[in-house]
Each structure stands twice: as C-alpha cells, then as structure tokens.
Structure 1
Amino acid sequence: MDRMNANYEVMSDEAGRPIKTWTVGVPFEDEAKKQLRNLRGLPFIHKWVAVMPDVHRGYGATVGSVVPTVGAVVPAAVGVDIGCGMIAVRTTLRADQLPDSLRGVRSAIEAAVPHGRTDNGGRNDRGAWKDSPATHTSAWARLAEGYARIVEKHPRIGRGPELAHLGTLGTGNHFIELCVDESDGVWLMLHSGSRGVGNRIGSHFIELAKQDMERFFIHLPDADLAYLPEGTEHFDDYVFAVSWAQDYAAMNRELMLHSAVEALKASGELPAFELSESAVNCHHNYISREHHFGKNCFVTRKGAVRAREGDMGIIPGSMGARSYIVRGKGNADAFHSCSHGAGRVMSREAAKKRFTLEDHAKATAGVECRKDVDVIDETPAAYKPIDAVMAAQADLVEVVHTLKQVVCVKG
C-alpha cells in the first residue's frame, strides 16, 4: 500500500491514480490488486475506485469494488448476476418457539421455492417452475413490457427462461436462511439475483462491449474491461436492460420471501406468526445514477451495497457465521458503500480440494443445512472471517442487528 489514513488504505495504479481500500486486517490477494489497478486506469473513472473489505478477484472485474464513472459504463464490472442482492424480514417468532429439529422447517422452504439446477437447465430443471403460481405470473406482467422492448432489439437475450425463473433461488452462493438475532427474534433472509435472464443480458452486453473496443481500435490491459461510451449504439440499451434486470432481481427476492413465509405458516412446524418489520431488500451487483463530488455519475457496485446515511443494508457471513443488518453512515470517500458479505479467500475449486465433509460438518454444526460434497465450495472456511470484515468497515456502517442462521437452504 502506498499510504494509509485512519480508516482506509490508499494504493494506486501505474499512473499514481488513487484506489481507496477498506481492507485493514483482512486478506487482499495480489490478483485482485492487479485487476483494480487495470480498472483504475480507465479514462472515465470519477475520482477513485473504492474497495470494500470483502474484496477478491472476480470474473471480469473485482468483487467488492465501487466504480464511479462519467461518460461510460463497464458491463463486466456489474457482471452477469445483475441485481444480485439480499432481502430479510423479522418475524414475531422467538427462538424458544422453534422446534428441536429444524429438518421440517428446511423441508418446507425447499418444497416452496425451486432451487438448484438439474437437466442442464432444461425443461425438467427442478430449479425452475413448471407452472408458475398466479402471484408470479401477475408479477411478470409488470415486467413483460420492458422485457419485450429489450428482446426486440436484442433477440438473443430472449432465448431462455424468464417467467419460469421468477421466484426461484438459483445455485452457488444463493441461499435462504432462518436466523436468530441478538434478542432471540427470528428472521427470514435470502440471497439471489436476476437468474438466467440477468445472465443473458450481462453476457450479451459484455460481448457487445468487447466488439465495440475492436471496432474503435481501443486496446485495454484486460479485455473484460471493455466499456460502452455514452452516446454510442449500445450504451442506452444496456442501461435500460440492466435497470430492468435489477427490477427483476428485486421482484424475484420478494416473491421467494413471500413463498417461504407462506410455506412456514402452513407447515405445522411453527406456531402462528406475522412479520414484525419492513423487509430490507438491497442489491449488491448493480448500476445506479448518483451524484458524488460535484458530478452526476454512474456508480457500479460489484459486491457492494449502497450505504448512504440511514440506508438499511444486509451483510451476510458464510453459511456457518453471523450476518448483519446494518445502517449506512454515508461515508463519501467510499461513495456511500459497504461490503456485500464476507468475501471468498479461495476459489471454489481450491475449497473442494482443501476441505473434507468432516470439516464442513464441523463448521456448520448447529445449522440445519446440506452437508454433502456438492456444497463443500461454500463451507465457511472458504470465506473471510466476517468479524474482521465488519471491523474494517466500522466507518461505513453501524450494526443494527446480528443474526445467526439455524436453517440454511442452498441451491
């Protein structure tokens, strides 16, 4: 690091332009630093790139980065899980009202929300709806017009499921959890994004941006940093499509939360309950039009949450660690942002090679969850310690609630 102030460290790219990192006390691998230096070198970055404590190397761009731009956007800086984020709500249940065995609770959630992926995503995929519920088709009706506009100009995006994925979890690090807070209140929390349609939108425009770089004879240190300049053919189309995908993702989370709540109420596993607080629903892979340091700009958060003063957010740990409901402090140097989670310390493949089922079972003791080889890559030790991540961003957010999961459903 080049220098450090009380709250963050400052590194720089090859030309000495700053990158501010909230990484004190957490791992920060060299590959991520290289990605960030390449990103900071783009000519349309506004002021600096901010880096959250969950930072790690990502596909296309660095996870945990906050990228303000003027006059251009980088599709890979958002990635392909557009609008991925969190939703959480507190119930009137108390911890002592939960049954001794939570297997039935987990089964009720798994039966209510399609999750995972089978049949290579084909017609028999258990992670998609065969017949979408009426609530989901009604929600899709509010999204359909925008989708038709996107597909009319970019028909490749229409080649795959959209309604069938609305209200479904997906795979990887997406999850649904039942959690207990610091005062024994019970919460429902989940993590998901824009599913297959968001992936198609992201992939399509990343490729178009790369083609534009070739057409304009622009050479970049990393092809994944291909960008769409404002005023060019694909810029407005992408901004519209990414905004639509973010709306889809938020709706996806709302529908899953509703399905899970209704399933738990009908399960017979729990006493009658209601929801006691408004749900927190926040993106952490997205683009937003904002105003910072005297300029209107696009802020791309890839693995980061907006944390303006008073903004409520969610920072989950791994499937065996604490999670946090937080309130933003509006830190201007971080472009009003905070981390989106703990952040990986190793790749999925590395985790599969390093950890055993015994390791995973021990790390998730006390949590009703999958304990099989297909979730080894999500084992807690594959992630940074959430306590260190929270300590590194104490000037970005304050903790409102501390949650510990007791049930975890993975895709």
Structure 2
Amino acid sequence: MGKKLSGKDLIKLGFPKNNSINVTLGQINRYQKRVKKEKILIEAKKVLLNPEAYKGDGVWGKIAESLLDPVNVTKQKLNTHRAPFQIYGENEIDDQAKYQLFDALKLPISVAGALMPDAHVGYGLPIGGVLATKNAVIPYGVGVDIGCRMCLTIYPVKVSYLKGKKHQLENILLEHTKFGMYETHKIKHDDPIFERDEFKTIPLVKRLKDKAYKQLGTSGGGNHFVEFGVISILDINNEWDLPLGDYLGVLSHSGSRGLGANIAKRYTYLATKQCPLPKHVQHLAWLDLNTHDGQEYWLAMNLAGDYARACHDNIHKRISKLLGEKPIVKIDNHHNFAWKQEVNGEECIVHRKGATPAKKGELGIIPGSMTAPGFIVRGLGNTKSLQSASHGAGRVLSRRQCKTTLTQSAIKKELQNHDVSLIGGGIDEAPMAYKNIETVMKNQQELVEVIGKFTPKIVRMDR
C-alpha cells in the first residue's frame, strides 16, 4: 500500500465509483495531509458505513454529503427576463453598474433587486447592489470584506474639545489605531468571539484563528477609517432623548480583515466549481443553502460579521479609555452581508453589497467623505428597496482615475477649506473621489429619515 491515499484505496474500501472519490481525495488532501493513511482509511470506512452520522462535520461532512445526496453540478443559464427591481437616483449611477445588477437579476435564483443611489461598479454585484435570492447565497454578492460595517459612539463632551485638545486627539488616532495588512496592537485584547464553535469545527476558520486574534481591533486599507468629529442631533424625537445640539463623536469604518477575505476567497472558489455560469457573470456563482458548503459558508459569514463587530468594539473601547469618557450612544450596522428576510411573503436571502439595512425603525450610519458629513438615519422599511439604503456617498472616480487626475496639493486645499486634519490617506481616497452626499441623501428620502449628522474633523486612514 502506497503512502499517499488514492482512488483505488477508496474503491477497495467500498466507495462507489462516482464523484464521492474526488470529493474525498480533495477533502483529505486539504485538511488531513499530515494524518497517516491507515488512520484516514479507518475513518473513511466509518463515514462510508454511516454517512448520516457525519453530516455537518467540518472535514467528513462534505464526503458524507457526496455519498448521501451528491451536489448536482450543471451548467447554469441566465433567464431571458429580469426579476423585479428598483433603482434610486438613476441619473447619478453609471450604466455599467446598472448592467451588473441586470445580469444578477437574470440568475435563476433571483427574486428581486435594487440599486442604491451611491452605486458604482464592483465584482459580482455592483457596490450599492441589493439582491434577494431563493435558498442560495452568492459569496461575491456579500463581498470580500464580509461584514464591513460602520460604528458611531457619541460622548457627552463639548465640541470645543476638538480644537482645544486637537494634538492629543491626533496622537490617540496615530498611536492607538492600526491600519493595513501588517499593523497590529502591541497589547492584545481577548474577546468572547474566539470561543465560538466555528473556530473549532470549520477547518478553514480554525486555521485563521491566530490571524484573527492578531488583527482584532485593527482596520484595513482603502476607504477604512477612524474619525473624531462633531455630532449634530437634529431630531427632537431621537431614540436616546438627547437634547438637540452638538456632541463629540467617534466614527469607524472597517470589516472582518484577513478572516473575511480568506472565507470569501475559499467559498467563491467552491461556488464557481459547483455552479458554472457564463464567463461574464462567473463572479455571481452561488452556493445552495441545502448543501454542506452552503451551510458552512453561512456559519463562516456570520462569524466574520460578528468578528467585524468585535473589532469595532475594541477600537471604540480603546479610544473611550484614552478619552476618559463613557459613550452615551452607540450605533452600528453591517454592509457587505447577507440576511434571511421575508420578500413577497417568502423567506429569501437578501445580499447587501455596500448597502445599509433600513427596515422600519432600524438605525444606521451613512458616511460622506473625509470632508463631507455623514448621517445618522432611521429606516423607513421601504419594500421596493428590499428595506435597504446606501452605505455611503459612493465613488465617482475610480482609484486609478484619482491617481491620474488628482494632486496632493488639491487634496490639501480641500482639507483646509473644511478644517479637517488627515493622518494617512492615499490620493485614491481624496474627497473629490466621492459623489455629493447631499444628492445621494435626497435620492433616498423614501428609504431613510435623518436623525443627526456627523462632520469629520480629525481623520485617520491607512498610509
């Protein structure tokens, strides 16, 4: 008997001569490389004799599925008609983003869709795209940065503090927030998230635990930020009974770091193998939620979303401690996520790729740019938008266009005009790269109502 497990070994064991052999070899090669062949064969025999007992197991569950109810891989075709959809702020959205949504609406699993007024081109779904599907999840409909989210804390501190303590606040952001692929905190904080079963039972996630622990409380590159600014409460009937007026606020934007990126990469690959689509829409490959991989992705995605929340909690706790103040209000919300939600009387999976949940009474934050205000909003529960709103202002210039058309001196002038202090931030995140947030908000008045405003004053981004 050779040292490496082969298909012949599995056939000798009694495996049927079908795709279960390829599935078994793939799983063993990925997750059991260092396990002795004899031990693998003993376990494989147990699975063969009683596959029901192994359903849901991280390593053997997929093999059990291939024996009990093999995933049927068939080449998928797009429908000739689109599922119902609604576009908000259509005149402000480029055609390519619309065409991306139109392709997604032709998927055989699509039930309904919407495009938010901040929409622009992305991979798979456009950024600002919302798509409801039937019992299926599209990893690239969620996005690479799973559970990317906003978090805002409001402090009972006069805004004069921003000018009087400007250097101290800049130092807090410079020394105590970490950005990009390699920066991590010297003093690590623990979090209950690391006790979750998914870190023990899903092999891919188990491998990523150390990385996730190191990156806790850090932010990514690109458009991720932590900012000090002025909170203006505008609605007398706000949920916290705060008097109208101005307060000190901290706003952060980031996601699930390397954990989410690796989950997205792996399950997108599995989706493309199980759901072959025409080449131009291959990024829209989906996982059936009744399959092992679909269920596993759903668990991993929710873990990544909760991890993103833990990162924001960590960031805000550190800053609160340094300020010596307790926040009086905290608001946060995901984008880049999928939710189970009723659509037209049936449970669907609603993907929000760069879109904010906005069911009736739900609170959220819609940021502008480093010089434009963001908004605290309350959802109106509009069913045509699938109870969604924009996740920001949305880009009007691509990163490449920024680098070829904008200058550092123009950015500096824009920051000075708005009295904004910037730490880090590349030219591709210039304020001019973004749509006019006021126009975006006008185009979604039937989706959300404004409770307050956040005006950035000290901004920290990746260098």
Paired position in structure 2 for 1:186: 248
Distance 1:137 1:274, change over 3 A: closer
Are 1:98 and 2:149 an aligned pair? no
Correspondence 1:1-400 to 2 at 5 A: 15-26=81-92, 28-46=93-111, 48-100=112-164, 102-117=166-181, 125=182, 127-132=183-188, 136-143=189-196, 145-151=197-203, 154=204, 158=208, 161-182=211-232, 183-214=245-276, 218-219=277-278, 221-265=280-324, 273-277=325-329, 279-365=330-416, 366-370=419-423, 375-400=426-451
C-alpha displacement at 1:36, in angstroms?
1.0
* Matched-pair contact (CA < 8 Å) for 1:87–1:191: yes
Distance 1:181 1:130, change over 3 A: closer
Letter in 2 for 1:58: G
Distance 1:90 1:315, change over 3 A: same
Supply the distance in 2 between the matched residues of 1:25 and 1:322 (Cα, whole angstroms): 22
Bigger radius of gyration? 2
Supply the distance in 2 between the matched residues of 1:224 and 1:302 (Cα, whole angstroms): 13
Supply the distance in 2 between the matched residues of 1:404 and 1:138 (Cα, whole angstroms): 31
Letter in 2 for 1:142: E
Q: TM-score, normalised by structure 2?
A: 0.76
Q: TM-score, normalised by structure 1?
A: 0.85
Secondary structure class of the residue paired with 1:260: helix
* Matched-pair contact (CA < 8 Å) for 2:366–2:390: yes
Distance 1:396 1:209, change over 3 A: same
- Report the count of equivalent residues: 370
Supply the distance in 2 between the matched residues of 1:238 and 1:196 (Cα, whole angstroms): 16
Letter in 2 for 1:32: A
* Matched-pair contact (CA < 8 Å) for 2:364–2:377: yes
Secondary structure class of the residue paired with 1:88: strand
Partner deviation per Cα, 1:42-61 (whole Å, 9 max, x = no partner): 01111x21111110001232
C-alpha displacement at 1:174, in angstroms?
0.5
Percent identity, aligned pairs only? 33
* Matched-pair contact (CA < 8 Å) for 2:205–2:263: no
- Stretches of structure 2 that go unaligned for 5 or more consecutive residues are 1-78, 233-244
C-alpha displacement at 1:156, in angstroms?
8.9
Supply the distance in 2 between the matched residues of 1:288 and 1:16 (Cα, whole angstroms): 22
Letter in 1 for 2:217: G
Partner deviation per Cα, 1:333-368 (whole Å, 9 max, x = no partner): 111111100001121111111110111112222111
Task: Please tell me the root mean square deviation across aligned C-alpha atoms, in Å.
Answer: 1.9
C-alpha displacement at 1:101, in angstroms?
6.2
Supply the distance in 2 between the matched residues of 1:313 and 1:140 (Cα, whole angstroms): 23
* Matched-pair contact (CA < 8 Å) for 1:49–1:67: yes
C-alpha displacement at 1:274, in angstroms?
3.3
Letter in 2 for 1:111: E
C-alpha displacement at 1:140, in angstroms?
4.2
Please identify which structure carries the higher helix content: 2
Larger RCO, structures 1/2 (Cα 8 Å, 6+ apart): 1
Paired position in structure 1 for 2:36: none
- Stretches of structure 1 that go unaligned for 5 or more consecutive residues are 1-12, 118-124, 266-272
